[in-house]
Amino acid sequence: MTAHLTHPAVAELSRAHRTWWPWTVLVIVLLGTAASNGENDVDRPVPLGVLLAVLATLPAVLPPLAGRLAGVPLATSGALCGAYFALGYADGPVFLALPVVTFLLAGAVPVRRWLPGALVGAVLLAAGLGARWQWHADEPHKSLWQAIGMLGVVLAAGAVATATRNRFEARAERVGRAATEERLRMAQDLHDGVGHGLAVIAMQAGVALHVLDRDPAAARDSLEAIRATSKEALDALRAELAAIAGGPAPRRPAPGLAELGAVVDRVRAAGLRVEVLGEPGEVGAATGEVAYAVVQEALTNVLRHAGAGVATLAWERGPDSLTLRVTDDGRGGAVQDEGMGISGMRARVAAVGGTFRAGPLEQDGFEVVAVLPA
């Protein structure tokens, strides 16, 4: 029998079929059935009763069937138990067969797959108990309560297994969601750090080529800026690649408002005039990190896409908020695809409870505005 189980949590839980305890139950059923029927001196051959009990327990150590056939082992187990009792064999560990099979199957397939089979199996087992009462002078009230008790035990086993399965699935989803969020964070960090560095390097290289012949000193300054920027970008790239590879390299402290001056200086050195209006003042570490990321990405976009001559960074401090505004006098135009840059800024701002907008100005230019909690 082959199971087609794709959910990681279901696959993990279904591995219970290959652990030791179902085999232990099978051995207990084998030995206990032989002992209980040997002591009671039944009319039927003891090996036949042992065979029925073992076959009823056997699905517990086999992989579950997939699809609509998933409930077949439960119905089969119940039918074999019913045949065992109908032939007049004694009580014993055979009562473990159907609950154990139900527990393991319910842990591997949805409720709609195991519940019909479990109900059919419990009914067939109850019919066997009734037949033993009719044909072998068993006590009627005993058979009735045994049938009711087995129905409750079977359903309880299925319910416990289903709850366990759901817990595994929820945990797997949480782990998967956390892994996805971490991958997105790493991609965003690479985009912000390395992308900014490459944009500045490209602009600096253009400046160096432009003034190489007539102003070697300015070209040298641009090349030194390229060297410094490329070193920072490489450090950021190594740190993120080490994290992706699971290496021991520690993460660098996240930059904040104190490091914004270096960003503005690099952009200015690349040939863009940047005007700074106002002061951000004191803010929390999380707000400072987000403000740094937004300003860096906004200025990088101006460098790469706007064709602007001037960019303005304005700070507006409110009683409990900090507004940063980056505008330029470039081409402007509506945003057709936010890409990783604008969407990343929006996500970072939203993560600290702020608001974000980005779009073209009424005349020429583009504007990025983030309102952050101070």
For residues 16 and 110, state if they share a domain. yes
352: in domain? yes
Mean pLDDT of 302-323: 84
Q: How far is 193 from 252, CA to CA, in rounded Å?
A: 12
219: in domain? no
For residues 269 and 170, state if they share a domain. no
For residues 168 and 37, state if they share a domain. yes
pLDDT given for residue 333 in this prediction: 61
38: in domain? yes
Task: Name the domain boundary from 116, 147, 176.
Answer: 176
For residues 171 and 268, state if they share a domain. no
Point out which residues pair with 360 in neighbouring strands: 366
Task: Name the domain boundary from 156, 176, 196.
Answer: 176
300: in domain? yes
Point out which residues pair with 369 in neighbouring strands: 325, 357
Domain carrying residue 58? 8-176
For residues 122 and 262, state if they share a domain. no
Closest CA to 29 of 97, 91, 114: 97
Closest CA to 259 of 192, 185, 312, 347: 192
For residues 14 and 133, state if they share a domain. yes
Q: How confident is the model at residue 221 (pLDDT cuts 50, 70, 90)?
A: confident
- Who wins on pLDDT, 213 or 145? 145
Please give the helix or strand (H or E) that residue 315 lies within, else none. strand 310-317
Q: How confident is the model at residue 177 (pLDDT cuts 50, 70, 90)?
A: confident
209: in domain? no
289: in domain? yes
How many CA atoms, within 13 angstroms, populate the side-chain half-sphere of residue 304?
14
What is the sign of the dihedral through the CA atoms of 329, 333, 335 and 341? negative
For residues 48 and 158, state if they share a domain. yes
pLDDT given for residue 6 in this prediction: 44
Q: How confident is the model at residue 216 (pLDDT cuts 50, 70, 90)?
A: confident
Degrees to nearest 5, angle at CA 70 with 69 and 73: 95
For residues 18 and 158, state if they share a domain. yes
What is the number of domains present in the chain? 2
Which SS3 state, helix, strand or coil, does residue 19 take?
A: coil
Task: Name the domain boundary from 134, 152, 176.
Answer: 176
Which SS3 state, helix, strand or coil, does residue 355 take?
A: strand
CATH number at residue 345: 3.30.565.10
60: in domain? yes
For residues 158 and 14, state if they share a domain. yes
208: in domain? no
In 194-307, the DSSP E strands lie at: 273-277
pLDDT above 90 covers a percentage of the chain that reads 18
For residues 32 and 165, state if they share a domain. yes
Checking if the pLDDT of 3 tops 50, the result is no
For residues 145 and 13, state if they share a domain. yes
- Token pair recorded at residue 195: 């992308």
For residues 138 and 277, state if they share a domain. no
Q: How far is 352 from 253, CA to CA, in rounded Å?
A: 18
Checking if the pLDDT of 336 tops 60, the result is no
pLDDT per residue as tens digits for the range 30-52: 999 898 887 766 778 889 989 99
Q: How far is 40 from 99, CA to CA, in rounded Å?
A: 24
- Who wins on pLDDT, 204 or 21? 21
